């Protein structure tokens, strides 16, 4: 991926890095970003959407991005995509290439540099320690009413134990409940708690995001991710 394509300014390698950096700056590592919003951030003078089509295709095939097509096309950045971005920014070929570039790309790069210290870049957010507060052993959960009671107790314990300011990671709640409830029932009932206006399910930056944390968070119908539960 080294030669310009169509109206692309610069090489495809440079464009790939700019695309991943743009997606990261739009918080694409923790939520889905509309393709139209990414295009507004990404496209430069004389470039067209089609100029990036092969790059999107290659990144998707490499597992660097995920593309969903529910009501609109949305894109998210995977942990592998973050690694590819990190390597792309180290590549001597990547450079700022003209006075019409604007300030968005340099500002995104500054944000990356400030948040990245030889690890996946993150923004400051409430987090939990490796050893959670003590939660009483949970018996098998038989119905939604029992699930709601248990989840509220676990949410309260974690929130108070680590002063999370009412933003408790969903993956932590799932792990505390463990085998007491089926994974599919957990997903269904957790979403129902939002429908019942008990929780607001939120995205936001997730510190030290890993594939297992993403999997143990919540995926809404349509593919959107949710990482935190806020008590209403």
pLDDT by residue for the chain (232 residues), tens only, comes to: 444 445 676 778 888 888 888 888 888 887 888 898 888 888 877 788 888 899 999 999 988 898 988 778 889 888 888 888 888 888 777 766 554 445 566 666 766 765 654 444 443 344 444 455 556 678 899 999 999 999 999 999 998 888 888 889 999 999 999 999 999 999 999 999 999 999 998 887 776 778 888 889 998 887 788 889 999 9
Whole-model pTM? 0.48
Shared domain for 164 and 92, answered yes or no, is: no
* 121 located within any domain: no
CB 139 within 8 A of CB 53: no
pLDDT digits (tens, 9 = 90+) for 63-122: 889 898 877 888 988 888 888 888 888 877 776 655 444 556 666 676 676 565 444 444
The encoded tokens of residue 5 equal: 């394509």
CB 207 within 8 A of CB 127: yes
**Alpha carbons 211 and 3: distance in angstroms, whole number:** 33
Most distant CA pair in the chain: distance in Å?
Answer: 63
* 125 located within any domain: no
* 135 located within any domain: no
* 99 located within any domain: yes
Which CATH number characterizes residue 88's domain?
Answer: 1.10.10.10
Q: How many structural domains compose the chain?
A: 2
Residue that finishes a domain, picked among 115, 133, 156: 115
Q: What is the pLDDT of residue 114?
A: 59
* 105 located within any domain: yes
Q: What is the pLDDT of residue 70?
A: 75
CB 187 within 8 A of CB 232: no
Residue numbers of the domain that contains 80: 12-115
Q: What is the pLDDT of residue 213?
A: 87
CB 123 within 8 A of CB 115: yes
Q: What is the pLDDT of residue 220?
A: 86
Phi, psi of 218 (to 5 degrees): -135, 135
Number of helices (H), then strands (E), belonging to the chain: the values are 9, 8
3-state secondary structure of 184: helix
* 150 located within any domain: yes
Residues 6+ apart with CB under 8 A from 139: 180
Q: What is the pLDDT of residue 124?
A: 36
* 123 located within any domain: no
Shared domain for 148 and 73, answered yes or no, is: no
User: How many CA atoms lie less than 13 Å away from 34 in the CB half-sphere?
Assistant: 5
DSSP letters spanning 61-106: HTTSEEEEESSSEEEEE-HHHHHHHHHHHHSTT-----TTS-SHHH
* 171 located within any domain: yes
The encoded tokens of residue 228 equal: 């935190």
Shared domain for 154 and 220, answered yes or no, is: yes
List, in sequence order, every residue forming a beta bridge with 225; answer none if it has no partner: 219
Shared domain for 108 and 28, answered yes or no, is: yes
CB 168 within 8 A of CB 155: yes
Residue that finishes a domain, picked among 115, 134, 156: 115
Shared domain for 110 and 159, answered yes or no, is: no
């Amino acid at each position: 991926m080294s030669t310009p394509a169509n109206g692309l300014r610069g090489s495809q390698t440079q464009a790939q890095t700019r695309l991943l950096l743009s997606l990261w700056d739009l918080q694409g590592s923790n939520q889905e970003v509309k393709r139209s919003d990414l295009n507004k951030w990404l496209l430069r003078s004389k470039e067209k959407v089609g100029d990036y089509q092969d790059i999107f295709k290659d990144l998707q095939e490499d597992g660097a991005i995920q593309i969903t097509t529910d009501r609109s096309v949305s894109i998210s950045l995977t942990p592998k995509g973050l690694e590819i971005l990190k390597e792309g920014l180290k590549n001597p070929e990547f450079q700022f290439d003209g006075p019409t570039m604007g300030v968005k790309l340099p500002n995104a790069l500054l944000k990356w540099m400030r948040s990245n210290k030889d690890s996946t870049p993150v923004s400051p957010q409430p987090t939990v320690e490796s050893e959670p507060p003590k939660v009483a052993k949970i018996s098998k959960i038989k119905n939604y009413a029992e699930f709601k009671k248990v989840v509220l107790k676990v949410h309260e314990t974690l929130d108070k134990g680590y002063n999370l300011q009412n933003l408790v990671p969903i993956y932590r709640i799932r792990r505390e409940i463990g085998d007491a409830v089926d994974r599919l029932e957990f997903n269904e009932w957790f979403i129902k708690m939002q429908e019942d206006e008990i929780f607001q399910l939120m995205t936001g930056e997730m510190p030290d995001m890993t594939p297992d944390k993403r999997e143990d968070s919540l995926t809404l119908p349509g593919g959107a991710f949710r990482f935190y539960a806020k008590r209403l």
